[in-house]
Structure 1
Amino acid sequence: MKFDASAFLQTVPESPGVYRMIGADETVLYVGKAKNLRRRLASYFRARLPSPRIALMVRQIERVDISLVRSEAEALILENHLIKTLAPRYNILFRDDKSYPYIRLTGGDFPAIQTYRGALHKGERYFGPYPNGWAARESIQLVQKLFELRTCADSVFRNRSRPCLLHQIHRCTAPCVGKVSAEEYRQQVEMAARFLSGKSTEVIETLTVAMNAASERLDFEEAARLRDRLRALQSVLHQQAVDSRRDEDVDILVVLAHAGLVCVNLAMVRGGRHLGDRPLFPQQAEGAEPVDVLHAFLEQHYQDRPWPDRILTNLASPELAEFVEFLAERPIAVSAGRGATDRAWLEMAEANARVAIEARARGGERARTQLQELAAALDLPEPPRRIECFDISHTMGEATVASCVVWEGEGMNPSQYRRYHIEGITPGDDYAAMRQVLTRRYERVAEGEAPRPDLVLIDGGKGQLEVAARVLDELGLELPLVGVAKGEARKPGLETLVFADGRAPLQLPPSSPALHLIQIVRDEAHRFAITGHRARRAKARTGSRLEDIPGIGPKRRKALLAAFGGLDGVKEATVEDLCRVPGIDRQLAQTLYNALHGH
């Protein structure tokens, strides 16, 4: 029976929600979200659709299910959950398109300049987003060199008694110890903000006026300092590869397909300054047209980010401009360039996309060879698509942490990594720790709540492997299981592979591609476990005793540590001193004082 879109749309409310397009045999074809469900779904059933791929999907629809939610934020969360759970055929996913860094100027009389990822808050100024952390950090270094703003945390700033090294090398004016007035520092902050916004000409004019004024009042030392700052700024602007000299925000989007790979190269221009590129490789894009991939990117990338003034793309068309206007709910200029600078930006983005595809293809071919060699060495029926590896880390039984890392497709997939805090075992009992982490992990696999691996690696020898085999047997799971026993003196290349099915141990030659792959995954599991263990151990050893005092929650603890510069300061405070901290009354202050002094 043909799907009656007209009758269905009459029942759909104009509310935020998530929709699931269902095909034959209850196959989920596509999952999407919308601020206005009726308007978004109606766009799929018009006479002219934006791409053949979407038209093909619509022809397969037998039913559309909707779920109403209270807000766009809830719709986004539900959509992400359903896509990960159902893996719909027509959802092109950008798994590495997660969080872009910003540069943040904090509030207060002496703002700090910092890189930042996450939700934007009122009272602070943000510049970006930047395509990667390197671009953001490089910009901060430039700002430090030009305007000497502080980068330290507020807790450090409040408790310094002398300038730090950055002041000595002329990267900070040391407001922490009064080396600069609040007004002068504010001026530095405003010039930095204008520079980050692309208003370099205004900054140059301001510095020139200040330099001339200092010269006229015979303050030659100040004039020389401003002159050096002007020269540094001019040098920075001269080194800028491409600068539009216009205060505008532009995103350059190039989509290229080659060697079975599709790359979306995103370059960002903020305030007229080119900030760099970021290549993105979507999942489930096999057979998709480049324009379909671009549509998927536009939907996902801008759902929680502001739209730029303009979009430059190698796939510009009236249909694409119409699609962008539909998503943005306002006109956005979409073009293939309108001048020499635009063309230069597009050429740079295309070149970077080609380089990224070539690098990915070389890495993919190497990974495929390694997986084939691994399947042959371990006698697997086919090359594994998903490998999970476990390791345990602790110091004399303290702060035990287990790690699970995942190789998926052609490389490590950090978004699937998990750490487990091990509790309730005899300290130092690695077998019990391994039992606990495997039970917690594979209970979810047995219940269908987590992906099923094609190969499980255990960083350990026969004992750990026997524990793993018993856990899987108790859960009713049959998974290829291999232990990686360390070689003599833990020397790489001398590892022995131990099998749970009774086969004789295997030692691959040091040059084996299969062994190299196992080493990569094993070493990553070890790194992920030990960094988690060190963080947990450090927190346990430096953890404040305030956490154990009734009535002292995170907010009060933070206020106390900030007010007295650390736990030692809190211990030295009197009851009257403690009462002056917001949220601490006399009764709680007395309780706190008694607890810290053993009364």
Structure 2
Amino acid sequence: MEKPALEVQLKTLPNSPGVYQYFDKNGKILYVGKAKNLKKRVTSYFNKKHDSHRIGVMVKKIHEIKHIVVSSETDALLLENNLIKKHQPRFNVMLKDDKTYPWICIKNERFPRVFPTRKLIKDGSEYYGPFTSFKTVNTLLDLIKGLYKLRTCNYDLAEDKIRNGKYKVCLEYHLGNCLGPCEELQSEEEYNSNIEAIRQIVKGNFKDSLQRFRNQMKNHAEKMEFEDAQRIKNKIEVLENYQAKSTVVNPRINNVDVFSIVSDEGYGYVNFLQLSHGAIIRSHTIEMKKKLDESDLELLELAIVEIRQRFSSNSTEIYVPFRVDVGEELKIVVPKLGDKKKIVELSQRNAKYFRQERFKQMKIVDPDRHVNRVMAQMKEDLRLNKEPRHIECFDNSNIQGSNPVAACVVFKNGKPSKKDYRKFNIKTVEGPNDFASMEEVVFRRYRRLLNEGEDLPELIIVDGGKGQLSSGVKALETLGLRGKIAIIGIAKRLEEIFYPGDSIPLYLDKKSESLKIIQQLRNEAHRFGITFHRNKRSKTALNTELESIQGIGEKTVIELLTHFRSLKRVKEASQKELADVVGAAKAAIVFNYYHSQ
């Protein structure tokens, strides 16, 4: 311990739950944290070497420690959250998106109005929400307006004023949107029963309104009032249609909050779903910027407290993907199967979708941050020792065994560096031998870079499976580069990624940025190699037997030979395999040409 004053502060910390704050020598707050045991937690920062560089930097800056003892872990969570929002310490997770949200207000007045608002006025009015967008609010209000006729005027409809005839019905009455309570044409009892039904709809409970409308429809039908019965039936259909779209799980799942998280090296994304009677009445995702390599558990616990505060949630049960500690009064459920599991998975999909959208936005708004994030993600996904800022990808092209060539494309910071692309004529290999050709071009490429003192890549990708990968590894071994440059192979069919000495391939998420960049590299190498190959061959070399087939042109020939590598393999291919490359119509022409013979 280098700071004597800190030693004293650490020794006097209690073994109680609470919140601790770190300050630098200028009295500026660095970090706020919570702990079940203040002494144990705070001391741990000073008793070990930290894997995270940022934690090490923070610990060196700590000049003073303050703490607040609280009665429970729940109080610690709430206090931590409030202090972070108030002081925004440099090393704390940054909670984004603290805007105001719309509510649906049922005004505290005689014949209450129902309208959207961003302002909460403490006048006894009821507020439902907040909702995450005005689109949701307007959809609900349009539904309500179609089902119930409510006043929109702001008259004071006191009983004596109505009785004295102070007001006259307006255009809304004549349009059929209001039943005229201002002239006592609608009773307060009937109006309030509509308001009660609206309360239930806003809460996600459609059962009472549906039953009420069905009873009304039945009464009209019994009285032979078929037009009125049809009008009520239309309302039932509108309500049932809305309910069908909003009900996602078992209607018995009521008053439940659902939370899930996805994260990458710099950010966490926490999705929140609120369920009422099996319907999602609220969905929201927040982005949390990591500062000290916080775990998913830490981020999720912080987010649960923040979101429940922000949306004034009073649910007593929450569903989460893993066990969290956010207070004894909440029932924590980690679903394993059934409807509850499905709703957690839905929440996770929402979080993933939000993250993908942020990626797209980041490319435009902050390209440097996007590149840094993608590189860090590739390092993690591909199990590399360092970020692959410089990647090179090799592909062989020896269609029909003629004019064998190879291509090397270069990506820097995830983007093509076309000035660094290289073409190779295969010199030492006779006939179509992909493995030997790969060994030759990898050897030639890196022998030259070594001789010229050029920078070597962090990652080499060879287009092909285990055989091509082994050839590339052999070339690196000859040059003494084995272990100094990471090398992987990507097989075409299933996007399998192979590692040297490992027979089991890695499968990346089909939507991951890492796989997209690898596919882009492979496709670019393929395109570059084929262009070189095409340019190298004369027009007569293109006049293959395939081109003599009526209905098959040069482009189709190139596609077939590029994929199948030889005319023999094209002849042996099934119609489905041909269709996967050139489409069903042209596949049928080629297949019938050979198999009818």
TM-score, length basis structure 2: 0.48
Which structure would you say has the larger Rg? 2
TM-score, length basis structure 1: 0.48
